[in-house]
Structures are given as structure tokens and as C-alpha cells.
Amino acid sequence: MLGPSSLDHRLIRRIIKQKKHNNFVKLHNRGKIKWNDKSLSALKQEIRLALRSQQEGRCIYCRRIVKIERRNAYEAIEHFLDKSKTHYLKWSFSCVNLSLSCHPCNIEKSTRDMGDASVQVSPCYTSTAGEYKWLHPYFDDYHSNIEIKEGWVYKVKPNAPQRTRAFNLITECKLDQICSIEAHSEKFLNSLNRLTLLMGKALEKGQIERCRRLQQISLKLQHDFNPLGMPVT
């Protein structure tokens, strides 16, 4: 299923409501401290770990596995309603506004306004506050609206309950371009697997020189694809 259909807000709510964090959240909501204030670091780390577990290590939008790296280099705490907008600042720590996304999806979303005029002035952050532009991580069922086919091809399901939101997510987040990106990696892995198979056969036949040549080709292929020697996923 590539991650949960939707997120459970209760897990994040329990973290935010802890006494050790609650005062800092109130200070933030009053504008006394900013999102990047060090006093919020422990809270954000707890939120990050809880979301990472609930999302099964996947981006909330593209559903690909997010590589875990130092300083969370490939992962961002995502505010569905962007905290940089004045009318959404009060929901920076709302338990239905937080998820994790990969950096490419985070960059594509940027500071888009995901709510209509009704959402912008609503005193409550609910599924009925207004119309949301993309599938909402907590209010919408991802897998009922989007089908991800082999090769990372994203399609709106024929009977999707939120067709417009699903379509907007695929096109505006550029999920429809991922298949081309992944195709390059798939070609590399297929070539590498074939070379490994040929090396095995050469060894079985005692063709040591042929095995060495195939190994050299394999090493060159790996270097050309990944010159810095980073792990291939």
C-alpha cells in the first residue's frame, strides 16, 4: 500500500499536549518564539520520529522511502497549511497539519496556499472548514484516490472521491515526472544485475579473464552512475 491511507492525529496530539512541550507551543503561537527556536527542537524531534514510524518511512506525497541522513537532510516536517502565511500561523503545531515529506516534494509544494477562502478564515481546522487543494494527509484516503503503478506511475483512480485534489497533487507536485526519474535508476540496476549474472556464469566455466573484463565494465558502470560512491537505493 506504500504507507498509510491517512494519518492518525491522536499520535501527534499526545506529543504536543505533553506538559514539557505545551508551554513552548503557546509561546510560539503567541509569536514569542519562532519555529526554528532551539527550545522547540526536542518537540520537533519527537514529532518527526512519530510521523516517520506512522508513515512507514515514506514521503506523505510521493510515497517513496525517504533516506535517513544526518540533520534530516532528505526529510522535512511538512505543514499542509503553510506556517509562513499569517492566517495559518496559529496552526503551526496543529496535530492535523503536520506530516513528513521528502525534500523534492517539499520544494515543489513550497508555500502554496492549500486552503480556499473559507479555510483561510475558519476558526477551526477541520475536514469541513472549506476546500483543500491537494489530498489532505489526515482528512483524505490517499489510496482510494491515487493508484501508484509499477515504475512509479501515478494515476487518479476512476472512482476517486476527491478527483480534483488527487489530480492537483499529481500535477502540481510533479509526481507525473517521477517515472522518468526512476527509469534511469531502473536501467542501471538491470544492467548491473545482468553483468553480475554473466560474471557468475563465467566463473562457473572457469573463464577468469572474461570475468575480470565483466567486473571492469560493472565498476565503470557504477562509477558513471554514481561517481561519489553514494549508496544506491
31: left (phi over 0), alpha (psi -120 to 50) or beta: left
**Amino acid identity, position 134:** W
Measured between alpha carbons, how far is 82 from 112 in angstroms, rounded to an integer? 7
β-pairing, 153-156 vs 75-79, is unpaired
**Amino acid identity, position 165:** R
Q: The C-alpha cell of 117 is what? A: 477562502
222-225 long-range Cβ contacts below 8 angstroms, 24+ apart: 222/192, 225/188
Residues of the chain with pLDDT under 50: 228-233
- Chain segment 85-120, per-residue pLDDT in tens: 999 999 999 999 999 999 999 999 999 999 999 999
- For residue 33, the tally of other CB atoms under 10 A from its CB is 16
Measured between alpha carbons, how far is 199 from 206 in angstroms, rounded to an integer? 10
In contact, 64 and 108? CB cutoff 8 Å = no
- Chain segment 61-77, per-residue pLDDT in tens: 999 999 988 888 899 99
pTM above 0.75, yes or no: yes
**Amino acid identity, position 79:** H
In contact, 95 and 16? CB cutoff 8 Å = yes
Measured between alpha carbons, how far is 106 from 77 in angstroms, rounded to an integer? 9
